[in-house]
Structure 1
Amino acid sequence: MDLTAGGARVASVARSERTGLVPAGTVLAGSVISLVGLTWDIQWHGDVGPDTFFTLPHLFLYSGSAISGLASLVIVLMTTAARRAGREVDARVGGRAINVFGKVFAAPAGYLVTGTGAAMFLLYGLWDQWWHGLYGFDAVIDSPPHIGLLLSITLSIIGTVMVFAAAREHRWGTLGVVGSLGVLIAFSTVTVLGLQQIDVDLVDVISVGIALLSVLLVSAGAGFWRRPGGAVRVAAALAVIQAITWWFSPWAAEAYASAVGLPMRDYIDGVPAMPAMMPMALLPIAAVLEAVYLLSRRGWSTGRVSVLAGGIGGFLIGASMPIQNVFVYGMARVDWPLVIVTAAVGGVFGLLGGFAGWRFGGMLRLLAPAKGDDAHA
């Protein structure tokens, strides 16, 4: 046994833990701040209305992307300096370094994606400022610059998932993947509002979009974890986020309105807008998916099992979302034809989500250096 090599590896892992946790936690904090700003801003528009480019919820959105972007830039510059100085670059810190603009910069994969999303957010923010100056206040959230802003933050959160996945040898790395996937599901429930431009009878296209992305991301958690509990952990992270924002959104909107002297609207229904779009039944549905994944231990192909689980998950989420809306918003009755058709379409898209999600989880695992590797690019 090579004790020298073993000791060097232990020292390398310890060093990566010290140098990787702070920037990873910083980009995750930026993602969470952006999520807080979004849920606050949506509630503000519904309960109060008037705003400017520099409202407090908007500043949360901007600062979240700025924090993630600046942290990514610092890591890219540090990695570039280390590469030029001939020093070893630890692949556990954000993933293996990728050459950018030839060999001008060396950027760890996760931080490259996060930083790119933050840079795109800046460009779409300028477009949004021009849009508001030309058209005034937006009546809807799914304006072109808003969709661009939401997709930019989504890309940054995907990069955050990658950053933690590269550090899966550490407990904080695996926990960070679960937490950031939960943030990504929560954020995606607003991004799918762009689908409401598709007018299809008897199908709730928003619920189908939520079903697809929810299945994809809990399947990614299962594919990354590769043992029982991955999907449930991601769903539990979403449940915690939903519970906190359910309380926070209405409170923050009312408190801020009172602070700036604006009245609340008379017709407020008391429902937290963004948390109400998050699938409440995802945790038990994820448990069903975990049971389906056990079929792979009976000799079934893992790929086929992931597709089957995705189809079942998509069907259940597609069925649950219209029913959830009835109970949350106090509607008179359940539109069962809508539920059945939405469930069927959700099941079809869930097949794709299960297929892609499991493989996305496997790709996340590949970001970390193999055990026994020297972890250096």
Structure 2
Amino acid sequence: MHDIERTGPTRPKAERLLKKAISEALKAPGGGDMDHNTKFSVVADRWITRQAGRVEAGERAHGTLDNYRSVLKNHVLPALGDLRLHEVTVPRLDAFLPAVKAKTSASHARTTRAVVSGVLGFAVRQGALGSNPVRELERIEGGKRKKPRALSSAERRKWLEQLEADPKAVARDLPDLTRFMLATGVRIGEALATFWEDVDLDAGTVAIDWKVIRIREVGLRRVKKLKTESGDRTLPLPSWAVSVLRERRRLAEEAGRGPATPVFPDTLGGLRDPSNTRRDLREARGTEDFAWIKSHVFRKTAATVLDDAKLSSRQIADQLGHARPSVTQDVYMGRTTVSRDNAIALEAMWDDDGPGNSGGKPGAGQDQQDQTGP
């Protein structure tokens, strides 16, 4: 048993603090090779090792692990790492998390709270603590989300015309990538993970089962979705998207790229980095009319088109790979096959572009169509 000491401004106060510390020490169950006197940093290291094992088992995403590591390194360990577990108290955390929020954001503070809770919850399960103090903290308020914004029909047309007129954007394959994301509503990592073997041009469908991520100290990898994710789905495509993909398939075959190659490769024909592609989009958008555009805007736009076409929230959630709109629908309705109504609604995305845009690639003006061909 280690010695426990407490000091206070008066003898009675010091005695009360000492009695409280002894009581807490007796309540801590102990067990294993850690107890309430173990440093927080030691428990954090074991917890993150456990999370890495869950990634290898397919229970956690690589990106989540990297995020946890970053939060530990930059915020949690500098503040709490040298403390003993019993010193990570509710008052201390009640001061720490607001400081993180003030320095970063409410969202970042919530992630930090989740990491601290994960570490201390692990300590509870190992018998080193009697309870998790994070559970006693108030919710972190603030960080109100911005209202989602989608591209209007006129903005879709203007955006693609801007891309087609930008040689650098064309060289980076941004026009067709935009079209594919508008036609499907997929995330950028899903779009870049789509291989030709996932595309059935005759059936007019594409299977969305993979994503491209960057794994620390490993590099780019095409990884299968987690079993717990709702994102695996086969999407029917509008005919204009099939036309775009047919032309791309022809060019890919001429270049010797087979079924097990990306639909949207990098310059060497391999996997393309989502982060670099987002940077390419930022450069292409300029600083005026489209300064607000991010890759997720294409996903929101597809959802908005489907909503305007009066599709149900369940159909839209299936298209986007969301687990909800409601628990009842999640439990009693299948999500592996998406309604053909989605493709019909997306079919009409360019209908109001005027006669100058009939035929050819959607979203491009007649002059561009004459230059690029069908």
- The answer to whether TM tops 0.5 is no
Q: Shorter-normalised TM-score: what interval? A: under 0.3
Q: Which has the higher contact order (CA 8 A, sep 6+)?
A: 1
Task: Give 1 or 2 for the bigger CA radius of gyration.
Answer: 2
- TM value normalised by structure 1: 0.24
Which has the larger share of helix?
Answer: 1
TM-score (normalizing by structure 2): 0.25
